[in-house]
Chains A and B, each alone.
Chain A
Amino acid sequence: MKLSAGIVLTGAVLLGVSTPAFAKTEIQWWHAMTAVLGERVNEIAVKFNASQNEYEVKAVYKGSYPDTLNAAIAAYRAKQPPHIVQVFEVGTQTMLSSGAVYPVFQLMKDHGIAIDWNDLIGPVKSYYSTGGNLYSMAFNSSTPILFYNKDLFKKAGLGDKPPARWDEVEAMAKKLVGAGVKCGFSAAWPSWTLVENMHALHDQPFADHANGFDGLTTRLQINGAFGVQMMELLQRGVREGWFVYNGRLNKAEANMGGGECGIFLSSSAYIGNLTRASEGKFVWGTGPLPRLGGYPQGNSIIGGATLWVMKGAKPEEYKGVAQFFRYLASTENQAWWAGVTGYLPLTNAAVRAMESSGHFQKNPQQRTAIAQMLGGKTTSNSQGIRLGNFVSIRDAIEEQMENIFSGKKTATQGLDDAVAKSSEILKEFAALYR
């Protein structure tokens, strides 16, 4: 049986938890950041460790987001949890319901550290707080934006302005294809950019109970008029050849980075990698997400991850975690982190610091996401999405998106099926946490 591999891995994870033998109190921080981002995470730990001599933060890479969460779960069940674990936004409800976390607002209060939570930028605060309190430490947040390849725009005789509306996306993408461009329009993270964010951006409900903020969600609402219109547009895009679907997760980024796509939607955190991929090959720009006419103004929502504090550690260790979070929240660290990664600065103070240091003048692409978020309207439809078993639900949505794009199902039928499947998954979650 191959499934036993999971058990073996669990065992390996347990062995990996080292016991501190230093005079300094060790704090384990498990994360899922790779490549450049992983280096930055290590840099944070090094800087914090150098700033004081009581605590030693150990940043440990644990694989992908699901891998990291699984590692933390296994460790928690073996009563050897890390102090801090980075969990992606879709795992928020799982963590909140887990009974395994020490809420961050409580931790800071218990240790007498005052952090001005109200200074957090609105969308980040709303996505991660419950009852006005922050349960996990905001860390890396991004939001989808539009990217466009300026060289291809020139080739197709288009101006140097990104499309602001979907009819413009369509018209421009068609022109691009007409000029011999392989991929007029494409998008990474399909469910996040094209379903979740499109609903929030147009102030349309994604799920009942205010997207899960007023109680456990029982049913998705993505098969309403707006959702269907959106999917029919994209289905037609595939049929007419101006939208090229390039797979789940961020697989489509390979096409944008390869200089094939004219217009592209992805996370603002893609700026760093696109900068590297396009160097000396093509010039690109960014713009806010395109809108459909006739719908009210909402806001785009965030993705990324937060840091959760696990139960089961010693008091002096929690003291160190609180100190570390104070460091993370500092304006200096926030401005640096956002500047070197492309993630959003999380506090208004950090935004101001980046403005005044001229960072956005030098890196105008990094302003797009901030401007989009701060210019939007946070409503019950755009504060975020909080679902139990969200990972499986996203999967169910993307499965049906593929069935719609390939023409196997109509938009209505596909979305209805996604809703039905999700209800089933949500019902299970409710049965577990009733």
Chain B
Amino acid sequence: MKRFVFRNRWLPYALVAPQVVITIAFFYWPAFDSLRLSLYRASPFGDRLIWAGLANFERLFRDPAYLRSALTSFVFSFVVTFAGLALALLLASLANAKIRGLAVYRSLLLWPYGIAPAIAGIIWLFIFHPSYGILPWLLSFVTAYQFNWFLKGWVAMTLIVMAAIWKQFGYNLAFYLAGLQAIEASVLEAASVDGAGPIRRFFAVTFPLLSPVTFFLFTLNMTFSFFDTFGLIHSVTQGGPGDTTSILVYRAWKDGFEGLQLGFSAAQSVVLMALVILLTAFQFRFAEKKVTY
């Protein structure tokens, strides 16, 4: 890499300043404020702020529902990430083939990414709604089983998992497509000459060469499913039935912005923050070593 030296001592600082200011104002400040608030019982209107020590955290970890919610979040995120990436890679490989109308397929496959999670939720609601959705109606001809996800937890969970995968699909696909196109044909040809079939070629050559992309997408999808699926859940299941789809971020929002239990909600966001930091650190420390750039 070429090293660039600024002549003016202040210019580089001035150039990064806007980003730093934004980061401090919108990331560090709220984060520290959450940290502070998590140690208090706070009234919504701000007239009462009572030191609570670790009471909010204690309440959190004593609550079996919260631990269940943590488990739900992890299962949800892993399923969304793994299934989502596998599907995107499969379709990217197909879309990378030389077929007619390729450009059209590619653009169509990218579309879902342009849709906000909440809107995606509404669309899926229309397809899957137990009474006015088209899919339950079609399924009713095949089976008498009632796919009412207002009461059946596994149906609700499957539904938001699928919606989240679909929502993130275009993004994953775009990166995999770009990754695939960056692989030089000569490498694959060499493998062919050595007698490797398409499946062998994929696992021995393509997949390892795609590992930086996979690594990047893994981190991104984990954070997406952990945090950004909020809108999806809010518009489809509201965390129900029971609490089967209440992932951590949804719970934190609900207790804070609907329930107005600010300290308690802040404690939850602190836990979330810690989880993200851990997750990211873990990925960069261990996963990065396995990545071939």
Contacts and interface: CB of A to CB of B under 8 A. Distances in A.
B81 interface: no
Given A248-B240, A395-B254, A408-B242, A97 B259 contact: no
A395 B151 CA distance: 15
Interface string A86-114: 00000000100111100000000000000
A432 B46 CA distance: 11
Interface SS of A by simple majority: helix
A399 B242 contact: yes
Contacts of A77: 45-46
Nearest to B264: A428
A251 B129 CA distance: 11
Nearest to A393: B259
Contacts of B52: 431
Most chain A C-beta atoms within 10 Å of own C-beta, residue among B43, B45, B227, B239: B45
Contact of B258 (A245, A392, A405): A392
B259 A402 contact: no
A400 B243 CA distance: 9
A402 B241 CA distance: 6
Interface string A256-273: 001010000000000000
Contacts of B264: 428
Interface in A1-19: 1-4, 6-8
Interface stretch (B9-17, B27-35, B165-173, B192-200): B27-35
B249 interface: yes
B50 interface: yes
A406 B153 CA distance: 9
Contact of B45 (A73, A249, A255): A73
Interface residues of A, number: 51
B59 interface: yes
B242 A3 contact: no
B43 A98 contact: yes
Nearest to B238: A248
Most chain B C-beta atoms within 10 Å of own C-beta, residue among A97, A246, A247: A247
Given A3-B30, A66-B257, A73-B44, A247 B227 contact: no
A365 interface: no
B61 interface: no
Given A245-B151, A406-B242, A8 B257 contact: no
Contact of B259 (A98, A254, A392): A392
Interface of B: 26-27, 29-31, 34, 41-48, 50, 52, 59, 63, 65, 129-132, 148, 150-153, 227-228, 230, 238-243, 249, 252-261, 264, 269, 272-273, 276
Given A3-B34, A247-B240, 13 more contacts: A1-B273, A2-B227, A3-B30, A77-B45, A98-B44, A99-B47, A238-B151, A246-B131, A255-B131, A391-B259, A395-B258, A398-B240, A432-B41
18 contacts: A2-B227, A2-B249, A4-B27, A73-B260, A94-B44, A94-B260, A98-B44, A245-B151, A248-B240, A255-B131, A389-B259, A389-B261, A392-B254, A399-B240, A408-B153, A408-B242, A425-B259, A433-B48
